[in-house]
Amino acid sequence: MRKIQVAITIRSFNKNNLSRETFIKRCEVSFINATSRRLTENELIQALEGADAVIAGTEHFGKKIFTACPGLKVISRVGVGVDNIDIEAAQKNHVVVLTTPEAPVQAVAEHTIALLLSLMKHIPMYNENMRNGNYCVKPGFLLCGKTVGIVGMGRIGKKVASYLDGFGCQILYYDPFVQTVIPESWERVEDLENLMRRSDILSLHTPPKPDGSPIITSELIDCSRRGLIIINTSRGSVLDEQALMNGLDSGVISGAGLDVFSVEPYAGSLLKYPQVIVTPHVSSNTTQSRDQMETDAMDNLLKVITGVEE
């Protein structure tokens, strides 16, 4: 019986994952991305030649991919979002798309808090200044007592809110689709404008719009409470980057912590702002979470491709 042909196109994959040995016994790995970068469209087509399934990262699966790779049956993503995949084209070509929604929750939530505390306590500034012999002091801010607006009360948004609640923050949230049980002390806000007018801190944990247009626009930033801090660990398209820079210039926005950008890897103008802390889309990249995501992606693929039920 022919083994299932699987391409591993994600830019990094742990060779020492304990589940990988079992996975390789049941599948024939036809390709492994050794470039340490996201594959281009043409590279992806070549990698998927003859493949039944793929362990994928953030590489773009557009219509051309599905046309060029008719044997593809499963895309098993290491991660949560599917905005890098043309879902309509996948469905039309009968390709199953799988994700790993549970594994990155803890890591992304902790990274969100790390970005926020680094901003409020000026940690990157002090770290750089001390190494240059500069011991000037700039007062920081207490997180306790701040009003935090959470956009998107899914798994990660809820985890971030629980941490901030523990710090003594007032929690507001906007999510028209939320169905989970929310503590009564957290206040639901029905529109984003009201949320931003009332928040000291805005934390974004929402999927992008299908058309890629921003959710946090210049109009919303203009009506924000002055001094707002914005944290984005969701997707770059959620936040209008030019509007953010305009807000930083005007002082409406006092700082931002960003792990995601409209174009990645990012080398744009936001890097010129000292009140912006940036990381290169690594919020879920802890040893434990990454290992679990890869394990879940392999397990998900095997369950579908072999017809094994949970």
Catalytic residues: 235, 264, 281
- Rounded CA separation 224/239 (Å): 14
- Rounded CA separation 109/283 (Å): 8
The string over 11-32, giving b where at least 16 C-beta atoms fall within 10 Å of a residue's C-beta and e elsewhere, is ebbeeebebbeebeeebebbbe
Q: CB–CB of 18/261 below 8 Å? A: no
The pair of three-digit structure tokens given for residue 140, joined into one six-digit string? 């920081």
**Can you tell me which residue has the tokens 């040995």?**
21
Is residue 98 helix, strand or coil?
Answer: strand
* Inter-helix orientation angle 18-26/287-305, to 10°: 20
- DSSP assignment of 6-61 equals EEE-SS---TT-HHHHHHHHHEEEEEE--SSSPPPHHHHHHHTTT-SEEEE-S--B
Q: Is it true that the peptide bond before 280 is cis, omega within 30 degrees of 0?
A: no
Is residue 119 helix, strand or coil?
Answer: helix
User: Number of C-alpha atoms within 13 angstroms, CB side, residue 156?
Assistant: 29
